[in-house]
Amino acid sequence: MPVDLRHEPFRGSVVVQRGLLTADQLRARVWRRLFPDVYVYAAVPVTHQLRCRAAAGVLLPGAVVTGRSAAVLWGIDPVNDADDVELTVRPGSHPVRVPGLRVRRAAVDAREVCRRRGVRVTTPEATAVALARALPLEDAVIAIDQLTSSGLASLQRVQALAGAASGAGCRRAREACALADGLAESPQETRVRLVLGRSGLPAPVAQLPVHHDGRFVARVDFGWPEQRVALEYDGLWHAEPGQFARDRERLNRLQAAGWRVVFVTAGDLRRPDLVIARIADALAR
């Protein structure tokens, strides 16, 4: 078996023409067909990212991966592996109707295109604005926070692009970008922040470093320094080995510094009214 075909998608007709495989060998179960004339070694996991590389790198070289599919290439996952790959090709290109692809013909600003994973893709900032146009508001804010807090995208640049955008979804994009802060370290932290923003409570400081007697105590997800109240999202990662003991030590340090800590879980977010009441009580004390 040709070793160089074990990892990346390839065009079947090309490898047959070059004598690397015969047509009969290509029909064997060891190869998986991804798109017409595009194959991959069957042992390779078929992810959305792989399908993006197969579509934009092999089937339609020169196409730009856009929208939700671009987000996958940048490390966030607003789609399932089997969802259609979103591509954009030049205006005037022949229509492309291939199962598993969603191809549109439109001009893409060359300044908003780069290369990643071997294919052309919209920049993180352009991807963020596209998601802000297309996703429900909360999901859009989460996506923008993920792209900006990771350092991939500049929130200022994202907001500038959204401000200059026109056409369908531009108003929603500007609203989502205005709600993003680029600080949340998880989607759930963004959800908590949005709940707080709708609550009427005083705005907290996100990712607040707490000091006491000139020494660093901890960094909290959200904090009200005047009232010495902290809010922490308690996710599954807190159940990792050794994490419980570290969390207890951290909580003890915060309490010794005079801080009251309110914890929020995923289950709590289904009853935001109770979360707000709990925080309001802590602030009142």
Are 246 and 177 contained in the same domain?
Answer: no
pLDDT of 148 strictly over 60: yes
User: What's the pLDDT tens digit per position in 65-93?
Assistant: 999 999 999 998 877 888 999 999 999 88
The sheet with strand 260-264 has its strands ordered as 205-212, 215-224, 229-233, 260-264
Are 244 and 276 contained in the same domain?
Answer: yes
pLDDT of 5 strictly over 90: no
pLDDT of 169 strictly over 90: no
Are 176 and 108 contained in the same domain?
Answer: yes
pLDDT of residue 78: 74
- Phi-psi sector, 107: left (phi>0), alpha (psi -120 to 50), beta: beta
* Listed residue (173, 164, 166, 161) closest to 137, CA to CA: 173
3 state DSSP class of 251 = helix
* Listed residue (132, 108, 131) closest to 121, CA to CA: 108
Percent of the chain exceeding pLDDT 90 equals 78
CATH code assigned at 195: 3.40.960.10
Are 66 and 22 contained in the same domain?
Answer: no
How high is the mean pLDDT of the chain? Answer: 91
Domain residue limits at 110: 49-53+60-183
Are 171 and 195 contained in the same domain?
Answer: no
Q: What average pLDDT does the segment 212-234 reach?
A: 93
Number of domains in the chain: 3
pLDDT of residue 80: 81
pLDDT of 96 strictly over 90: no
Q: Please give the structure tokens belonging to residue 218.
A: 């901890």
Q: What average pLDDT does the segment 228-253 reach?
A: 74
Question: DSSP of 149-160, one letter per residue?
Answer: HTTSS-HHHHHH
Q: What average pLDDT does the segment 132-145 reach?
A: 94
Q: Which residues pair with 264 in a beta bridge?
A: 233
Q: What confidence category does residue 238 fall into, taking pLDDT thresholds of 50, 70 and 90? A: very low
